[in-house]
Structure 1
Amino acid sequence: MATSAAKRIEQLRGEIRRLDHLYYVEATPEVSDLAYDRLLEELKELEAANPQFASPDSPTQRVGDAPVDHLVQVPHSVPMLSIDNTYSREELKSYFDRTEKLLDGEPIEWVMEYKIDGVAGSIRYEGGAMTLALTRGNGDVGDDITHNIRTIRDLPLAMVGQKIPPVIEVRGEVYMTNADLADLNLRQAQSGEEPYKNTRNVTAGTIRLLDPAIAAQRKLRFFCHGVGQTDGLKAKTHIEFLREVGQLGIPPTPDVQLFPNSAAALEAVAALEEEMPELPFEVDGIVFKVNDFNQRDRLGMRSKSPRWLIAYKFERYEASTILTSITVQVGKTGTITPVANLTPVDIADTTVSRASLHNADEIERLDVREGDTVIVEKAGKIIPKVVRVEKHLRKTDLPKWTFPTECPQCESELVRDEGGVYIRCPNPSCPAQLRQRLVYFGSRTGMDIDGLGEEVVDLLMSHRLIEGYADLYRLNVDQVAALAWPKQRKGKDGAMIDVLFGQLNAEALIRGIDASRDRGLARVLSSISIRHVGPRVAKLISRVHFTIGKLMDASIDDLASIHEIGDRIAKSVVEFCSSPTGRQLFADLETVGVKLSDPEPEKIEGSPIVGKSVVVTGTLKQFKRDEIKGLIEKLGGRASSSVSKKTDFLLAGEKAGSKLEKAEKLGVKIITEDEFQAMLDNASSDSESV
């Protein structure tokens, strides 16, 4: 009997830990709350009946501590230092330049991660078991909050995995999601208590509570982004560290990106900012860190902060308003995006009347309904975001908003991406998709057609002059000049009147369209809204398949073999090119004289690095970093940023550090700058003799 009880207890503990990880870390709950509660209740009953099998790391012990009398201050084994901040791209670039100068110009890989707006904490594990959790305090001494941190369900009470380090302190952010704050405020209102203003304030208060039972009800969470004292940690870089702690069961900070240099990191800031509104938690900036631990050691510390990281922060502003209605808009690839229409409210000197709700899952997570009072946030240059619903102010039983099943424009039945969150209109001829595709086609990131903006696209479509990209190249000046569009007349009445497009405007538009005919294949591919194909992917493809004929004949395997492409992108491109829509599109563009080829890459005879992966490290005498990358690609190689088993050559300059050591351990062929120059000379002489 005791054996069967022990077996069932271990089964339940393992299953509950797995479900906790799915819910809190992976955000993919597998069972209902009721089913989860039944498992937990069964475990409690079995443990009560069999106390000999009690364990401090059991899920039932999340709230097993008695309230403490007061918080005890404990010294940090390794100080928790602060982070320097910057508020502009110019200051950020200056920081990168200073750091590179301190390392004598050697290449630096940069890690970019969200600066989550929570409360810093340090959690210590000994022998795999959680033993101590502290606030940052003054950096040298923090408050003991172990009793409350043990209630956080995405943190293991005992680490998992085969190679658990004897001692490890993980540093990170304790935080609360916006949806959990909305639910907490509803409970606060129902009990007659004041609601909390934001997630950070409630998190800071919760971790300092004396009673862990209250903390358990508030669903705090944790992301690891740093390390204190360790014994047995193998990671040599930040990316390796995050991977290693993840394997131990500790949730690492999400969506971390690695860049080969500061220029690439700066270029990616805007894209990361655009993704922030979809996050379920609050973010007040982006943190940049030197990836290599050896380089960090050499950069050292200032008096209060390390030299190897910086936070790029932006001011956050928010306001309360009413969500009057939810509508949907159709994107250029058919994505149906729900939009919150708001009672206009001023936020950071901007009047906000609309905000994206992103997708159906976001609406479900927020539990947002028409008529709700919502908190809208604007941070820096980021588009307005509905942060949460003030459920405690919901006066009536508002009906849930249901996602449409048909496209609002063409009435096609909508479909959800397989394994994804987006719902799309599958009709490539949908007028709403066509409008968005044409607007993007004319944009700077598209074919860069001067004068082809949203209003002009609407005007041309309303007169049925364009039904596809090729129709743009069939327009003439007289045809466009004679068009009339409604404009609001200046003056007291503000009446709408028809205004001719005019000769000068028409001539300018046709000039812009004609100038775009010769942009080339890569530009066309990135402009016609093929899913997963942007400017960089298009360039990678056109370097190999540099004519439309070659591309149309390419298979999924052909495209997937191109470095950085992969199966998903390859499948998307081949499916588009082989579809009736794609074939007709390219045929039409060719008919109207749009260039569908790029220059044929130089054939490299005798180069030993054709198709090879090459990593550059250390300081070079003869080449600049951008120059060496271009030369590697000219020789038919791939310039990579990190050493792995797949690296074919390491080009080592002076003061080569950890990458050289790693290459030697992995048996990667190491070449000098002179040897690389010899490759250039040999390749050059071979091509001349052909």
Structure 2
Amino acid sequence: MTQTQDPAARAIELREQIDLHNHRYYVLDEPSIPDAEYDRLFNELRAIEEASPDLITPDSPTQRVGGAPLSAFGTVTHEVPMLSLGNAFDEQSMRDFDRRVREGLDLPAGDLFEAGQDVEYCCEPKLDGLAVSLLYENGQLVRGATRGDGSTGEDISGNVRTIRNVPLKLRGQGWPTLLEVRGEVFISKAGFEALNDRAREAGTKTFANPRNAAAGSLRQLDPSITRSRPLEFCCYGIGQVDGDLPDTQVGILHSLRDWGLSISRELKLAVGVDQCLDYYRDIGERRAALGYEIDGVVFKVNQLAYQRELGFRAREPRWAIAHKFPAMEEITELLDVEFQVGRTGAVTPVARLRPVQVAGVTVSNASLHNMDEVKRLGLMIGDSVIIRRAGDVIPQVMQVVAERRPADAKPVDIPQQCPVCGADVERTQLVKRTRGRETVSEGAVYRCVGRLTCQAQLKQAIIHFVSRRALDIDGLGEKIVEQLVNTGLVSSPADLYLLTYEQVIALEGFAEISSKNLLGAIQDCKEPTLARFIYALGIPDVGEETAKLLARSLGSLARISQALPEVLVYLPDVGAEVAHEIHAFFAEEHNQTVIGQLLERGIQLQEEGDLSPDLAASITLAEFITRLEIPGVAKTGAERLTASFNTLQAIMDADWLELKTVARFTEKAQSGLREYFADSARREHVLRIEQQLKDFGMHWDSPRAAQSEGMPLSGQTWVLTGTLETFSRDVAKEHLESLGAKVAGSVSAKTHCVVAGPGAGSKLAKAEQLSVPVLDEQGLLKLLVKHGVTL
């Protein structure tokens, strides 16, 4: 604001701009300014209003605070009842509904000689949230209410004012003087994930599902709590009205959108019941990819005149129906908890359930993750539990119905001995190293100590080794691996390369051709890339992405297998625990033997090479000192120290007098440094780390390597979501990685770009929420061609 500009005029101008940007962001999904610019406009308006409180208006964007906390909600009587809808659960129910509509309107049904008259239906996803009513008088929001029992709800005006996409004042013109808007308040999948992440960080209780989170947020007596929750509003209809509106359901929704209210982006008009069923099937297929939870589809007769003619029965309209999806949550009984042993020895609890239909599938088992999850749920055998299944996700136990617990319920105890081999089961320990000290705490995982003497671990290790993303040995399925292990032919992955024709053909189900095919497939997979080989080894906590990172960064199996944990943590996205798992794996004698045998028996690693140019001479002496976590010596102290001493040896050998000459290097830092290097074993280990940095070429005195010109996306993190038509997401991932990008599975503020194809859901929503750039498939293809990728 210039010095000569009138504050009142500027406040009006700012409100108009902020309202416009809110509309573009929340309703049109077309933001035109970055978040930082929006914040500047908002803060300027708030400063003007704080300086001149008389300029504050009820519809100002700054007034979304929602007012002071309440002791209780008031009640609201709905002039037009908020009725529930009838439900359809199958195709025949929908056809019966359509027949009743056409009969009620006395429309021609059609016969062999003439087609009947189809009805137009407004189609929308049925959001899984909380129904609310918003009342506008002369375009101003004056009240918000819950549905309640349909006739009476709770006054939540203060809370709905905090929802960012609820306009405090309607946009445009032509709206009725009195307009009641009805819709659903919900939380997106991305918002729900972020909300629970914050709860976990704060050590507070997490929410079971987005609907519960939305309902609980709206019913907070303190609006500031509601304001902190990522609530959204989507309108689906109207209640009482004083003024003119279009004569169709779709037309009304389009008008509401023009006045600044959010409507469903999936809104469509269907002609006849067959198009309604097509819409239902399409949304059902895309359900898991949507950015929000839905539990069905709502169909409404589009013509308002037809709606009035059809009227109501009991407490539901005759002109609308909810075609529900199969339930994603159900209650059943926990019959038992069994324990499975994985390839790393992890002993994992699995819930055995009384079979129940969930989302169209019979579920009898569900994941429990680990014993900490069992404790968090307060789970006992015999409990009634709520289980959830979404898309292809493994069913999960969400909560215990405590009031149904039987008197004979039994606790869930981790076995002391492995259920497969009988070896001891031990709880993992987490070692945290800070300031030169080690702190040991209990981990969430229990492991069988039998390692490859445990058949469960051996089988799973070999199944992983031959899997598609690892060595990709065609024809080696789980049943064949079980035979090979059970007959004693294979006791490690290296034994696969010693199998003979006579041994294989003797196995159940094998004949001459199949035996030759299997042996041929094993021989054909002797030239894996370094990344695939590292992944195939099954190192705990090292997934496909970490394996690629290790291969891309260190360049050779020798460096990876020799790398000390303190060196590995210099790699991007490698933390202390993963670094110690990698080091421990390669230090284990049996693993060294198996790797040696694999190489002796013909494995030839591809794409081995030099250290990544990004890591060459990348470690400064100051960073090295900082990472040692010497008591009293933080980053600034390390920089002052290295400015006075040019070598690590000089720092280690510095006496009191020399340290006192270091500018602003405190006595506490001097004491901590001297004590740290007084330990001869520690000095020796630090020098060993430095020597490895020299050997690898990462040392501060190492020559810098020329940056690779073929890695234009080096250092960037990309995310793929939705369906791609030109090639699969796996192929797109390989292309991006060939250009130096890291392809991640989730979106964060550090994501460089998201590639979104049709059906993109929560990842796209989170990218938009974080203002991460988004490319469609054509944009990706142009980028790949530009950088010389052959498609």
After TM superposition, the score normalised by the length of structure 1 is: 0.48
